[in-house]
Amino acid sequence: MTDTPVSEMSFEDAMKELEEVVGKLERGDVALDASIKLYERGAQLKKRCETKLKEAEEKVAAITLDGDGTPTGTQPVEGL
C-alpha cells in the first residue's frame, strides 16, 4: 500500500492497490483494527476507480463523428 492520497491516484494505481487490499482481506491474516483500516482504504479506492471510469465514459460519449462515422473531435465536457 502507498501513502499516496487516493484523490491523486490514477485509475490504474487505484485499481492495483484495491486488488492488494482485497487480497489481504481475503487471506484473513490481518488483525481486526488493520482490517477495518484496509476496508476503509478499499472503499476510498473503489470510489476513485468509479469516478475515473465515469470521467472516461463521459469523454468517450463526447466524441463527435462526421457523416462517415469518423471521429472529428471532442465536445468539451463540463468539469473535466
Domain boundaries of the chain, sorted by first residue = 6-74
Considering the domain 6-74, what is its CATH architecture? Orthogonal Bundle (1.10)
* The predicted structure's pLDDT at residue 31: 96
CA angle 41, 46, 47 (to 5 degrees): 100
Write out the chain's pLDDT in tens, 80 residues: 778 899 999 999 999 999 999 999 999 989 999 999 999 999 999 999 999 999 998 888 777 776 777 777 666 555 55
* The predicted structure's pLDDT at residue 74: 64
User: What b-and-e string marks burial along 28-56, b requiring 16 or more CB atoms within 10 Å of the CB?
Assistant: eeeeeeeeeebeebbebbbebbeebeeee
* The predicted structure's pLDDT at residue 76: 58
* The predicted structure's pLDDT at residue 25: 95
* The predicted structure's pLDDT at residue 79: 52
